Amino acid sequence: MVNTCVAVIKSSYLSAVMSNVLYPPRQTPYFSSIPLLTISISIVFVLSFLLLSLSLSMASSSSSRNWLYDVFLSFRGGDVRVTFRSHFLKEFDRKLITAFRDNEIERSHSLWPDLEQAIKDSRIAVVVFSKNYASSSWCLNELLEIVNCNDKIIIPVFYGVDPSQVRYQIGDFGRIFEKTCKRQTEEVKNQWKKALTLVANMLGFDSAKWDDEAKMIEEIANDVLRKLLLTTSKDFDDFVGLEDHIANMSALLDLESKEVKMVGIWGSSGIGKTTIARALFNNLFRHFQVRKFIDRSFAYKSREIHSSANPDDHNMKLHLQESFLSEILRMPNIKIDDPTALEERLKYQKVLIIIDDLDDIMVLDTLVGQTQWFGYGSRIIVVTNDKHFLTAHGIDHIYEVSFPTDVHACQMLCQSAFKQNYAPEGFGDLVVDVVRHACSFPLGLNLLGKYLRGRNEEYWMDILPRLENGLRLDGKIEKILRISYDGLDSEDQEIFRHIACIFIHMKVTTIKSLLAESDVSFALENLADKSLIHVRQGYVVMHRSLQEMGRKIVRIQSIDNPGEREFLVDPNDIHDVLNACTGTQKVLGISLNTRNIVELDVHESAIKGMSNLRFLEIKDFISQWKKALIDVSKIAFDSTEWYNFLIIRHFEINCCFIFVQ
């Protein structure tokens, strides 16, 4: 019932509730008829959006910087320079982590300004507390600078010293610290004490808990690597929720493993898969000897050269591999005459290869056929909207990019419309209303935000009815969505149109029984693989943008004569067809929403011409019966053609479905 309350709330009610939350109430009697539960749910959503937006607006901009170094290492040279530090930096080099080295400072330069700048230019600070760390005012000043930066990820390492001694400045560490402080003012001493206590309270590594120092060093380096993967370049700042995607992908990639792994990124067209892939490449490329991001145009070039060849042409595959090797090895005009040459060139290389927008399994088989083609630790990431390509290639680790939550959808709209993740004063309720009426489709939110950028509040309010009726900004969204649909065979396209017009939110078992003569199971699997539908708890669901696309495909079957279409879903079209008897044998189903219908005139022979009509869906049938005067008794059926009216579903939303056999 909670979901029902959220689903049926009208935008005017939501706007009013938000106005009451955000601003002084002006029309409190307006809310008297709104269920308390509905208001509570709306308030929770609104407050969640506002609180998250506020936190984002106040958050540090650390992920927005392009860092010169991955790590700054703060240490006491006499304690660890030739032991722990040298092994530590060697492990960093092995993992391709860039660390600042103080021996890189030119001898003619003043040391402290360069150290201070290196701290600022480093993403992560690893502070190695050792017995004599506090004997150096340089070390303590480094620590103070690290803490004062406010944008650093800090990892403390307690090397041969008890963390409590550092935390409270006691024991041998405390005595050495007090000796150093004798030459300083009380203010400086207190600043150092606060910095020591702050960092010593952070989660870190204690050498006393490790029997094998090499394993501890490796784990610290892995921790650094994990943290680096969770940060993104400023080039991707406007992609809301990206860090969550990166974190999920990092778990699948498991970069600490020396195995060669292939991982898939799968989801609907326009949902942000390519942005996620490019952000991953941006984060990872420095950690691999060979790296390449391959988009669809790369494969198209080879196809154009061998346009007359069959899809499995040997020469086309060789040309694709030659182009591939030339680019990743940066050696122009490589020529090969044996497909095994690619394996021979790369089997000892640690590679990162991302294949974006894959639409041909031949490309996958030709370029990244098997894991043994590549060196230890290699990672292959394949991006596609067709899950079957991944499973057919044996890729089991698949990350599905889902549609954003309501809160993230609002932030996406704000990012596009206002160039920030939160709404300016006066636009908070309008943002939520627009998202409610539009959809949570990232590409659509981006285009809609650009369309609304610079518009005043009145314009935002005026656009709401147009959104409810299906505002068409341009053809970009539909063009992208059509890619998956156009790739279906005719039978699967037909099932897609059935779902978009009639079967949405219906049980899979019911659809199978209604279309028993078709191979529905196979079609549903194909549609799900291409992210055109989802099956949730046994029900088929479809995103609103895809549903609108499917209905438009049906509508353009006959723009001027609705009776020539497969399905009728628009109440006005249905009225015209039933009143004027213009329905033809092409009509397979009618879905009528009676919510806004006061009276429907049905000719007594309305269905006579629709000899192939099988499905008649009437929504809000019971609750609206008194207002919607649908005289079904007047409809004449030839007993030899029409019989056995069967009500096959009856929902809480008051919808009856009549199956005409």
Active site residues: 142
Beta strand 646-650 with 655-659 is antiparallel
Residue type, 245: H
Beta carbons of 500 and 554 less than 8 angstroms apart: yes
Lookup: tokens for 234: 């400023």
Bridge partners, 74 (sequence order):
127
Lookup: tokens for 530: 């291409």
Q: Give backbone dihedrals phi and psi of 30, rounded to 5 degrees, phi first.
A: -60, -25
Distance between CA atoms of 149 and 307, rounded to whole angstroms? 57
Q: What separation in angstroms does the CA of 110 have from each of 102, 113, 115, 620?
A: 12, 6, 9, 79
Q: Give backbone dihedrals phi and psi of 519, rounded to 5 degrees, phi first.
A: -85, 75
Q: What is the CA radius of gyration of the chain?
A: 32
Longest dimension (CA), the chain: 108
Distance between CA atoms of 432 and 18, rounded to whole angstroms? 9
Lookup: tokens for 345: 């060139």
- Whose structure tokens read 């939520």? 432
Beta carbons of 355 and 328 less than 8 angstroms apart: no
Lookup: tokens for 125: 């600070």
- 507: helix, strand or coil: strand
Distance between CA atoms of 561 and 582, rounded to whole angstroms? 8
Length of the chain: 661
Q: CA triplet 195, 198, 202: central angle to 5 degrees?
A: 135
Lookup: tokens for 413: 């709209």
Q: What is the DSSP string of 319-368?
A: HHHHHHHHHHTT-TT---SSTHHHHHHHTTS-EEEEE-S---HHHHHHHS
Distance between CA atoms of 221 and 229, rounded to whole angstroms? 12
The helix, strand and coil proportions of the chain, stated in percent and rounded to the nearest 5, come to 50, 10, 35
How does DSSP classify residue 104? G
Spatial CA neighbour of 380 closest among 362, 366, 395:
395
Lookup: tokens for 485: 């649909």
> Cα torsion at 507, 512, 514, 518 (round to 10°)?
150
- 400: helix, strand or coil: strand
Contacts of 86 (CB under 8 A, 6+ apart): none
Beta carbons of 541 and 533 less than 8 angstroms apart: yes
Q: What separation in angstroms does the CA of 516 have from each of 513, 520, 521?
A: 5, 7, 10
